[in-house]
Amino acid sequence: MSDFNEVIILKLFQMKRFPFVFWMVLLLFLINSCNLDSLDMNKLSKEVNLNPALVAPVVKANISVWDLIQSANTGNEDVLTKDPVTGLIKIVYRQNDLFTYNVRDFLKFPSQQAFSSGDKQLGEISPANVSISKNITLNDLVNNTNGALDEIVPLNGTNSNFPAASYNGPDSQYSLNSITDFRTISLSKGTLEINLDNKLKVPVTITGSLYDIGFNRKITNFTFANINPDATSKTSVSLAGVQMSSQIEFRMSTFQTPGSSTPVYIDLADYFNISFDLVNLGISNGNLKVTAQTLEGYSGVFGFTFPEPDLKAFKAVLKKGSLLIKTTNSSKLTGAINFSLDEIKRNGVPVIASIPLSGNSTTIDLSGTEINFSSDQAQPYNQIPYTFSLQVNGSNGYIDYASTDAIKMDITLNGLEFKSIHGDFGKRLIEIDPGNFDMNVDLLNKIDGGFKLANPKLELILHNSIGMPGTINLDFTASNKDGKTAPLSPPAFDIPVPANISAGAATKSIVFDKSNSNIVNFIALPPTGQISYSGKVDFNKTTPVTLLNPNFLDVDATFGIDMVMELPMELQISNLAFKDTSAITGSDYEKLESADLIVNSTNGIPLDIDMQLFFIDTLQNTQLGSSKKTKILTAAQVNSSGAITPVKATQTFSLDSSEMVNLRKANGIVFSGTVSSPSGGAGVATILSDSKLELNVVIKAKVNL
């Protein structure tokens, strides 16, 4: 210390204000010397330089293949099934109603038919029997025999021997009551029965005739010989071809009696009775009164015409329909037609109708009726037989009648709807219009490249109500997203035919597998695009049709084809590629210097899986880099009998620092993997639902904090 400094110090010590000055100087020294720069946290860099390498399990899972596959096929879970016995997983794609055919379109049915009976002549009419009788007394005889029986007059009232008598003409006339049933008629048939009832006390022999006064001609002569007292006698004469009027009389040509040998009481009031009965008359024409009666019936057939010219209908059931009948009557008769369609039955009862002859139309409901078109042996198809008769009302007066008067029936079938039909439908063809469908199996959409399923199957389930033998030629063509196609090339096959129309739809399952089709390559495409199909069905191509072996169909039934694609997961694949792209924000990985994904697995699935990541810039459409392709799962072992033994392995998927740089630049990441079945794809990997994949995924990352 220099002298100068010592002086200064001593001066300072001697100063009264020294303590204050000293403290101030000390305080200033402390404050000025304080370096707080190193504690200015505003200058703290964000660089932490902390780079721990962290290991932590991220996820674990003990999952069945079933769960795994279900998750990869989200939203379409129904497509996947598992065999209840073996657990084999199957992709089952079902396309119900792949093809449906409206059977109503199969045959064309008429909705209307018109028939006419044509003019049907009425023919003879049969009036009631006509009976006219006459009592002729001894007094009448006395008065009309020109005195031949005058001897009797004095004996009147006495018991005397009746004297023999003989009258030989001329004809004595005895009037008869007029016939009220007609005025004039021409008979096509009939019989005149003449009866003599002798109430005289002596035998008589009489000859005479029935005389038509209207036409002034004799109708017939007759003789009753030696008719004893109280005896009767009858003689019959045919009236066929006779024209007669209602005014007739009995003309007696001769009368003879031997008289009595013993006294008898003679009474001039004694008589004999003669009657004339017109029986079983058939009138072809005339002016007459018609009694209520049924005229003889008629029968015929209507020919049913179908739009299909070669269709031969044997029988049919109508769902709906009506029969309209209109008559045309040229006669003076009134009444009705009893119309019967014996082969159109409802509940087994023929359809009948009473149709007035007045010309009004009548409608018959045919709903639910069954028509037999085959009753005619000569043409056992498309024929509807009918019969009818006339129910004639009794006339109020005399009408003219001629057997040539005619009745005509015009019949119309309206609103016909057929329920079913049997017959010979002829050779027919159904075109299965081209169609397509998309299996839309998410699992298939996520894979790329070829693979093969060992036993894929495509099953067609046919539902057929048409009673016709037929053969289907159907083809499927699969396409993938790249436009490649593969045909299924299945064989033709027969459709199922129901045993009878009541048997319902017949169902048949047709399976196309590797033995009868190209289905292995068809599925191997894989069909990620559309599957198109087309085909045809040929009916009655070879089998003859008979009444006993008819075609039939119910128009309400269907012809349809359901499809089931069954793809058992028996895979034979080699480096099958699958991809999935996810959007990322690369900057999220700024803090990661490197990362290892350690996959500890016990794999019960016989598939090797390799994974590679591609880092992409979707805006520039460029690939920024990729990871190394790394195996992440080792396939389970499969022995010769197919038994699966899980394999435990640890695989590490690494992203080094340069790969992380590319990851950070990317805005998208493509997960690209390959899957192979055992033996590098040569073996078949059977994917069982209960196979387990036990995973423990560990991330080992160097973090730049």
List residues near another protein by CB under 8 A.
Answer: 13, 19, 22-23, 26, 30, 33-36, 38-41, 43-45, 47-50, 52-63, 66-68, 70-71, 74, 77, 598, 600, 650, 696-698, 700, 702-703
Q: What are phi and psi of 172, to 5 degrees?
A: -90, 140
Cβ 52 to another protein shortest distance, Å: 3
Minimum distance from residue 94 beta carbon to another protein (Å): 17
**Shortest approach of another protein to residue 441 CB, angstroms?**
16
**Location of structure tokens 């190394």:** 628
Compute the distance between CA of residue 257 and CA of residue 162 in angstroms, rounded to an integer.
9
Q: Which is nearer to another protein, 82 or 312 (CB)?
A: 82
Question: Quick one: tokens of 298?
Answer: 């008629």
Those residues whose C-beta lies under 8 Å from the C-beta of residue 67, and which sit 6 or more positions away, are none
CA torsion angle 465 467 471 473 (round to 10): -30
Nearest distance from C-beta of residue 32 to another protein, angstroms:
9
Nearest-approach distance from CB 528 to another protein, in angstroms = 23
C-beta closer to another protein: residue 59 or 548:
59
Residue 412 · residue 355 · CB < 8 Å: no
Q: Tell me the closest approach of the beta carbon of residue 22 to another protein, in angstroms.
A: 7
Give the number of other CB atoms < 10 A from CB of residue 69. Answer: 19
Q: Which is nearer to another protein, 72 or 240 (CB)?
A: 72
Closest to 296 measured CA to CA, from 69, 47, 120, 478: 120
How many residues in the chain? Answer: 705
CB nearer to another protein: pick between 19 and 84: 19
State which residue, 37 or 542, has the beta carbon closest to another protein: 37
Closest to another protein by CB, 34 or 619: 34
CB of 58 to another protein, least distance (A): 5
CB of 595 to another protein, least distance (A): 11
The whole-angstrom separation of Cα 401 and Cα 398 is: 9
Q: How far is the CB of 50 from another protein (least distance, A)?
A: 5
Which positions ≥6 away from 415 have C-beta within 8 Å? 111, 112, 320, 321, 322
Is 39 or 619 the residue whose CB approaches another protein more closely?
A: 39
Q: Minimal CA–CA distance to 387: which of 439, 329, 342, 432?
A: 342
Backbone angles phi and psi of 486, in degrees to 5: -150, 130
Residues 6+ apart with CB under 8 A from 27: none
Handedness of CA 474, 480, 483, 485 (dihedral sign): negative
Closest to another protein by CB, 84 or 544: 84
What are 557's two structure tokens?
Answer: 């039934």
Q: Which of 632, 623, 634 is nearest to 670 (CA)?
A: 623
Residue placing its CB nearer to another protein in the complex, 49 or 396: 49
Residue 629 in tokens: 């392709």
**Smallest separation (angstroms) from another protein to the CB of 5:** 15
CB of 592 closer than 8 Å to CB of 701: yes
Closest CA to 684 of 444, 453, 450, 449: 453
**Nearer Cβ to another protein (8/48):** 48
Rounded-to-integer distance, Cα 295 and Cα 89, Å: 81
Rounded Cα distance, 150 and 210, in Å: 26
List Cβ neighbours of 210 (8 Å cut-off, separation of 6 or more): 192, 194, 218, 219, 220, 222, 248, 249, 250, 251, 276
- CB-wise, 56 or 548, nearer to another protein? 56
* Contacts with 115 (C-beta within 8 Å, 6 or more apart), sequence order: 302, 303, 384, 410, 411, 412, 413
Q: Which is nearer to another protein, 9 or 292 (CB)?
A: 9
CB of 41 to another protein, least distance (A): 7
Q: How far is the CB of 606 from another protein (least distance, A)?
A: 19
Q: Smallest gap, in angstroms, from Cβ of residue 453 to another protein?
A: 22
CB of 444 to another protein, least distance (A): 19
Question: What is the Cα Rg of the chain in Å?
Answer: 60
Output the smallest distance, CB 470 to another protein, in A. 41
Based on CB atoms, which residue is closest to another protein, 319 or 702?
A: 702
Nearer residue to another protein within complex by CB, 27 or 429: 27
Widest pairwise Cα distance in the chain: 233
Q: Which residue has the tokens 């990441």?
A: 669
What is the rounded distance in angstroms from the CA atom of residue 604 to the CA atom of residue 87?
14
Nearer to another protein, 282 or 604 (CB): 604
- Closest CB to another protein among 8 and 54? 54
Query: What's the closest the beta carbon of residue 590 comes to another protein, in angstroms?
Result: 17
Distance of closest approach, residue 563 Cβ to another protein, in angstroms? 24
| Closest approach of another protein to the CB of residue 478, in Å | 28
> CB-wise, 501 or 599, nearer to another protein?
599
Torsion 589-595-600-604 (CA) sign:
positive
- Looking at the DSSP assignment, which residues form a beta bridge with residue 345? 350, 370
Among candidates 614, 620, 609, 630, which has minimal Cα distance to 663?
614
Query: Are the C-beta atoms of residues 493 and 471 closer than 8 Å to each other?
Result: yes
Name the residue nearer to another protein (CB basis): 45 or 582: 45
SS (H, E, C) 290-318: CCCEEEEEEEEEEECCCCCCCCEEEEEEE
- Cα–chain-centroid distance for residue 511? 26
Antiparallel, parallel or unpaired: β 312-329 and 406-424: antiparallel
Q: How far is CA 142 from CA 61, 147, 166, 344, 487, in A?
A: 144, 6, 11, 71, 121
